[in-house]
Structure 1
């Protein structure tokens, strides 16, 4: 009797892989109890899908050639479903899950067997013949183990076994009608949408984790117990206590520095599904920027310690893990599966489930019963916010709960969120909020064109000397930041920070700022400073911006001053540059913000006033923004409704174009990147990549070219523009010329 392997590196017998996958499924079954409420019977049907999904690998051609066999093993696995003692509906659901556990129905439609009169044997018949060469293995090794596997999964009180091979099973395999199965899918899609989604999601999760060497999903320990090691429960603030006692969706408004993250974790602890081993709900902590996600991941690691418990998901997460000396290959893979219980992520990673991107059913299964924490939700553009609101509506049907928290949320945005689904609201009292007041606003007539004179006029040198901390100069555009850097670089110790540095140079700059902050007079930065490092500057001189953005910038000054009741001056210029009107649209928000700040010139900006002031700043354009958000929300809902389980999303390519910018290697580093690729050191290439927004690429398109194919249908983009580690990528052609 010839043996049958499911995996080859290292070798693993079919029944061993099946048992590993059943172990994963059982661990999900014991944790995701809510799935039975949404789709009754889901875990029984999933068991048989997992049991039979790889039996087609027994074909001798697969055993000899593995991935070079040239046929889909799942097509050979599907006909075995007819031997299950289930009604036709359940058999079809199991069959579709098996058929699509690697490829979607779109991918398979042209290669499924079609019986036509007067046409001889099909390729399917030939491959089935190869499978039947291992009939002894199926009958004498695989089949006898099934009752024990059933008893292990269902318990010893299990009814009689559901899978039975009849004597004529070989002939019946050949007669399986795939076209009838596909027709059933089309006729029953709407009625069976949920169970088809979860069936494919559970089979993918079980198969992928078993293939990765895992036999169970992880659960989070009690969050309150972990937090108590950091914060004694008697020291919790009122809103943190209130959040820990709040059930259902929650909207939390509190000042920066209040401890909203702890409040969110306590809310999650209260609302989580759990079993005797721990918290079973998956928790997603959603932030808009990679820098803040990385920082939050490190913070969560300080609470939960184990990188297997705390995941990170964004487009550069693998490089972040690699740079953090973590097991980046293993963890990057596991973070995309139903394995890690807490994930810090961008909203775009979650949107994939609703746009039909990748194995969207697995992500949607993981999002069921989940707890989502949206931090800094005010930071999104109207199109992204509309998609998030549509997503929140979908998540309601999946028994998920959501918490939204912010320090600066305009009233119109709050109403949009509350209109989407029911939210309880928690807000710091004026007296408590004012305890966090730490900035005195000064409106300065002028622009960055006269930055040298302003530094002297405002006496910023004295503040720098007194505190041994640099002052922050915040610019709205990279080009403006570069010009200020050139202006001050000759006479002052300056550091420039913006989005057009390579990953490696950005890391170096951030490390210098953390470790040698006192060695600089000025840090010149763009909006990246609003969300990046946990550093505290002596003061700030900033270009005008929307009030909520200014509040974020002020938050980089005197960060812990509230502890001592200390208030520091912050300076806002009255004029920006022409580029600002393209960066901030509608620009009326900036004008209204400046007008309001004039009333606070020379006065403390009390934290209790900030929500009202931010709402007033957006009031002139709130109706327009509401309409824009609603438009994108409705458009997203239409896309979501068109996504079909087991099918590829029609808008997958559009999704990546919408949200995945470009990354390029500066021409200066082209040789290094080529050498690293030749040495198969692709991860090191990330150090030389710069994120490039679409508008920049289109404006400078003639200065970009493709370096080489990486062997996976991908390429490296090269920016033939001037670059140096001090200033970053400039809009000057590498060969010389004028700034465009």
Structure 2
């Protein structure tokens, strides 16, 4: 070793800002691991039983994993990077840690879980991980004496920190060619299903320990006093409040529960009272169908739980950046903890948890954190048969791992409840019969196109009414908006659908919400994105026909709180495209229901809605369809997981395309893609932080942009886009 190399190896640093030795960082990581043992005590006991070892042996294996995860930093490349600010880190330290962890712990049923977790603790594990370094020799890359000295202290530190003897013999690390070691560690063909859960615990434990040791934050694993916090927040908004009977009943229920209560009547607070009883030192996970509802619920949960709340969905980084700034340490930490469900409370779209089933990014952390958690599924009726079947499969897997569930809906069709009970068993349904007589709407079916309502809409606007006009397709909403603009020459009208970039979409949402509180008239022309997205209370509704549960959600945006007595709702014949979106059978049944003499022109009570929903979704027919979809999904999951060796993270490269097509949380009648309109490229190129490009993303059907995607520029599409109409079509 040269004099310069000796100097580099004189002090093995793991961190540079601030400087921290490998002993210091590892000591902090071990401290968090010991806390993890308490936080995940039930998980560890379960996985130990799965693996056929004692909980104490499993903890020792986890200890070795965390202790040796950064020993690869005792390399000359990494120390050169730290000491003299060499930009190149050389060989990845996670790979250089591999010979040591491999030698320190024997395999478990032939699988080197510790090695797999360590080598992938900065990059998700997949079959070709480090294959580009397979010809590399480990020999000569280390500050070898320092590395081996640290390695040999493992049994000593283990006994000092746990009070127990290290149960394995330390073997001499093999410092030969990387290929030989990688081949042995990756020998995972046809491993049993339990491998997935065991591996995820090793990854989760290492991530908790390493990330928290590096973050320097005041971390809480779980939030307590849920009922007390909820009551305090409700009292702050309404000093004269009192809990409803159904809310008092639910707080005494232990275990899974169904909640069927009308919109705006306190379902969320009821669910939180249930959580107080069922959290048991775990995490609270609140799942919703859309990003917009997730953003709104996140702010609502923050008023109750403060900074203990995380948010996870496709554009959650925008919300986090608004609070902490782009690229700050606070932003990076919050984004990481949120996306992995590590916060005490996580509000997320359903997709984040469902995609973990398909080994999507950070699947190991998400599933481990969901185990033994209290999980709330809000608007559970909102999903198609495919997503519902995927939820049933997820619930079945998490139920085995100790999670508890609350399922909430204003409608809750019987087939859905029965389908869920097929997974979790028979559970109580919380409802309030006093609401059955509640009437907020009178529906009128008009068997003509909705364009014939333009003059009626104009009159409502001139009378100062806030009016919702809901169409079933984006194209129809654009056409209706354009025709209304010709008769209402004012800025008091807005178009809102799914084909706006994220920045413009959020501006429109804010405008729609704010105008609900103004005294003058306003018109929002929208698609079904408004159904479970915006918490608004408008005065009038004109809508195309849709399935009854969708109509109920639309009506829930009008006279939401019932302060206007009974409001007339006007339903018009659907466009042909509506049948493609909702299905022939669903639209046929909806048409029969609204034309029924007992319904058309009559006040609709909450009790009647339950009956109408059952007519819309005949139980036996829907259960048969759901069972068929469940079988298809289980086949797809089985195929995907076997091909991923159970534990690989799904990759984005082309050769993984077949498996990626299986990994979807929603059934798409038309494939969609996220793009950025090319007109914004110059603006994006000037951004100080590339992550801010998320403001310009929009998801659209592939057929809209297929001919104008720029293959050489990922994300971009040369489309006609403007802030008023959104994406219209390709420019050429």
**TM, length-normalised to structure 1:** 0.84
Q: 1:339 to 1:688 in 2, by over 3 A?
A: closer
The answer as to whether partners of 1:368 and 1:399 remain within 8 angstroms in 2 is: yes
Residue 657 of structure 1, CA deviation? 6.7
Q: 2:26 aligns with which of 3, 18, 29?
A: 18
In structure 1, what is the equivalent of residue 285 of structure 2? 284
1:320 paired to 2:319: yes
Contact (CA 8 Å) 1:312, 1:343: kept in 2 or not? yes
Q: Counterparts of 1:323-338 in structure 2 under 5 Å? A: 323=322, 327-337=330-340
Cα distance in structure 2, aligned partners of 1:506 and 1:338 = 26
Q: 1:216, CA displacement in angstroms?
A: 4.7
TM-aligned CA deviation for residue 707 of structure 1: 7.0
Aligned to 2:61: 45
For structure 1, list consecutive stretches of 5 or more residues without a partner in the other structure.
Answer: 114-121, 275-280, 709-714, 736-740
DSSP-derived class of the 1:358 partner = coil
1:28-62 per-position Cα deviation (integer Å, ceiling 9, x unaligned): 21212211320232333211110111112212233
Structure 1 residues 212 and 360 mapped into 2: Cα distance closer, same or farther (>3 Å)? same
Query: 1:229 is paired with a residue of what secondary structure?
Result: helix
Superposition deviation, residue 685 in structure 1: 3.2
User: Closer, same or farther in 2 for the Cα pair 1:183/1:304, shift >3 Å?
Assistant: closer
Deviation sequence 1:200-228 (CA, Å, 0-9, x none): 22113322333334585532131011012
Map 1:209-608; keep pairs closer than 5 Å. Answer: 209-214=212-217, 216-231=219-234, 235-274=242-281, 281-306=282-307, 309-323=308-322, 327-337=330-340, 339-435=342-438, 437-455=439-457, 460-461=460-461, 465=463, 468-492=464-488, 493-517=492-516, 518=518, 519-561=520-562, 566-573=565-572, 575-585=573-583, 587-598=584-595, 599-608=598-607
C-alpha displacement at 1:552, in angstroms? 0.4
Partner of 2:164: 159
Instruction: State the alpha-carbon separation in 2 of the partners of residues 534 and 707 from structure 1.
Output: 41
1:638 Cα offset (Å) = 2.3
Q: Distance in 1 between matches of 2:153 and 2:622?
A: 68
CA–CA separation in structure 2 for the residues paired with 1:410 and 1:297: 27
Distance 1:234 1:455 in 2: 37
Give the Å deviation of 1:145. 8.5
**Are 1:724 and 2:726 counterparts?**
no
Q: Any idea what SS the aligned residue of 1:647 has? A: coil
From 125, 146, 153, the equivalent of 1:104 is 125
Partner of 2:73: 57
Q: Give SS of 2:618's match.
A: helix
Correspondence list, 1:648-663, <5 A: 648-649=649-650, 653-654=660-661, 661-663=672-674
Shift, 1:347, TM fit: 2.0
**Could you report, residue by residue, the CA deviation over 1:489-527 in whole angstroms, capped at 9, with x for unpaired residues?**
133242221112222222222222333444443221111
Q: Answer whether contact 2:465 2:521 (CA < 8 A) is retained.
A: yes
Equivalent residue, structure 2, for 1:7? 15
Q: 1:689 to 1:82 in 2, by over 3 A?
A: closer
Decide whether the 8 Å contact of 1:663 with 1:692 is kept in 2: yes
Task: Please give the alpha-carbon distance, in whole angstroms, between the structure 2 residues aligned to 1:191 and 1:552.
Answer: 41
In structure 2, do the counterparts of structure 1 residues 187 and 78 end up closer, same or farther at CA, with 3 Å as the change threshold? farther
Aligned-pair distance for 1:476?
1.0
SS, match of residue 453 in structure 2: helix
| Cα 1:427/1:616, change in 2 over 3 Å | farther
SS in 2 for 1:3: coil
Pairwise CA distance, 1:592: 1.8
CA distance in 1 between counterparts of 2:501 and 2:89 reads 42
| CA–CA distance in structure 1, aligned partners of residues 566 and 28 of structure 2 | 60
Q: C-alpha distance in 1, partners of 2:499/2:628?
A: 30
Is the contact between residue 355 and residue 664 of structure 2 (CA under 8 Å) also seen in structure 1? no
1:558 partner SS = coil
Structure 2 unaligned residues grouped into runs of 5+? 1-8, 49-54, 651-655
Question: Partner of 2:629 in structure 1?
Answer: 629
Question: Is the Cα–Cα contact under 8 Å of residues 443 and 601 in structure 1 kept in the other structure?
Answer: yes
Distance 1:426 1:702, change over 3 A: same
Q: Which residue of 2 aligns with 1:703?
A: 708
In 1, Cα distance between equivalents of 2:195 and 2:706: 47
**Cα 1:162/1:52, change in 2 over 3 Å:** farther
How far apart, in 2, do the equivalents of 1:191 and 1:513 lie?
Answer: 49
Equivalent position SS for 1:159? coil
Distance in 1 of aligned mates of 2:191 and 2:502: 49
1:334-376 C-alpha deviation (Å, 9 max, x unpaired): 2123531111112221123221222322222212212211111
Q: 2:93 corresponds to which residue?
A: 73
Deviates more, 1:212-221 or 1:489-498: 212-221
CA shift at 1:637, angstroms? 4.4
Q: How far has the Cα of 1:103 moved from its partner?
A: 4.9
Task: Count how many residue pairs are aligned between Structure 1 and Structure 2.
Answer: 683
In 1: Cα distance, 2:289 partner to 2:255 partner: 23
